[in-house]
Amino acid sequence: MKKLIIYFNFIIVTTMVITGFVGASTLPQLTAAIVFFPLALYFWLLVIPKKNTAIVFPVVVPQKDGKVIKLKKVKEGKIDFNRRTFLKLAGTAGVTVFLFSIFTKRAHGAFFGSIPGPGTVSLKDSTGAVIDPAIKTPTDGYKINQLDDSSPAYYGFTNKDGAWFIMKEDATTGDYRYAKGSSDFTNATTGWPNRAALTYDYFENVF
Amino acid sequence: MRLVSTIFLFYCSLVAVFLAVSGLLTSKGAFGIATQVIFLPVFLYFVWALILALRGRLDLSLEGKRIQLIIAFVIFLVLITLSYFRLSP
């Protein structure tokens, strides 16, 4: 139980002190980190295992006549038990801190760029504003179908559902005007064949 | 060396008490207090170590830990140097 508390304190205090040093941006913050450093040192000295320098000698087995005829090696046992425990705990703490750093909000930028979180895709423009790449503009999905290269010129577009729009281009004035319909692009009176008589307007008024 | 160890323990205990008490007094809301509870074992450990020291039994002795102290000092110097250069003017 005592060891568990020591290791727990070691992890908490060390994390706090290192975070304090790394995150210090002003002199008072750095001073606070320096003040708390001995706490981490205290638990560090408790946790770091001492190197076992004891030499294992073979046991001399005395016989009745006093002569040594056999040497028996002493069982070494688990002499590095503390070190193993320490390494396990240090490894666990390291993995925990690593995972924690990945899933905090600030770390997302480093690992995922502008993606704010799993399952959501967004991009940022040059000003830093989040834009949705999946947004649909009114003319998305339309492909050109007909072209009348006279003056003014007409461009007919349809989509897969049969909706259409015609763009009228007046090369002399530089005007672009639009007319649209939900179906029947080839209708003789309301569609492409009667394009010259259709009512055209600005893009924002039509769509 | 025993005196140094005792002073070291007393300093750490003082800082731990300050850490726990100031944290509990200044934190607002249940979440803030719950966060401060994490530091409670540190405080309790030092209280326990202090009681042991007052009874004449030190929890930590600095004897024979010269290498660890040197390494800690080097780490301390590295941390302080890096932090100092990152300070905003």
Per-block mean pLDDT, blocks of 10 residues, chain A (207 long): 85 87 83 88 82 60 63 62 78 75 54 50 72 74 88 90 90 89 88 90 89
- Alpha carbons A90 and A48: distance in angstroms, whole number: 11
- Alpha carbons B63 and A49: distance in angstroms, whole number: 14
In a domain, B55, yes or no: yes
ipTM metric: 0.86
Torsion sign, CA atoms A133, A139, A141, A145: negative
Q: Which contiguous run of DSSP H or E holds residue A68?
A: strand A68-72
What lies within 8 Å, CB to CB, of A142 at 6+ separation is: A157, A158, A159, A163, A164, A165
Mean pLDDT of B53-71: 80
Q: Does B39 touch chain A (CB under 8 A)?
A: yes
- Alpha carbons B30 and A55: distance in angstroms, whole number: 55
Question: What is the model's pLDDT at position A111?
Answer: 47
Identify the contact set of chain A against chain B, taking CB-CB distances under 8 A.
Answer: 5-6, 8-9, 12-13, 18, 21-22, 24-27, 30, 33-39, 41-42, 44-46, 48, 50
Q: Does B11 touch chain A (CB under 8 A)?
A: yes
Return the amino acid letter for A43. Answer: F
Domain range enclosing B24? 2-63
Instruction: Report whether A197 contacts A188 (CB < 8 A).
Output: no
Alpha-helical regions (H) of chain B: 2-26, 29-37, 40-54, 66-86
Do you know the residue count of chain A?
207
Q: What angle do CA A20, A24, A29 make, to 5 degrees?
A: 80
A30-39 core/surface letters (b: 16 or more CB in 10 A; e: else): beebbebbbb
Closest partner residue to A41 among B64, B72, B84, by Cβ? Answer: B72
- Poorest-confidence range of A60-69, A188-197, B5-14, B43-52? A60-69
Question: What is the model's pLDDT at position A164?
Answer: 92
Instruction: Report whether B59 contacts B53 (CB < 8 A).
Output: yes
Question: What is the model's pLDDT at position B25?
Answer: 81
In a domain, B47, yes or no: yes
What lies within 8 Å, CB to CB, of A115 at 6+ separation is: A108, A121, A122
In a domain, B9, yes or no: yes
For the record, the structure tokens of B46 come out as 């030092």
List chain A domain ranges.
1-51+84-103, 111-135, 143-206
Do you know the residue count of chain B?
89
* Contact check, Cβ <8 Å, A30/B11: no
pTM, 2 dp? 0.47
In a domain, B89, yes or no: no
What is the Cβ-side half-sphere exposure of residue A131, based on CA atoms within 13 angstroms?
Answer: 9
Instruction: Give the number of domains in chain B.
Output: 1
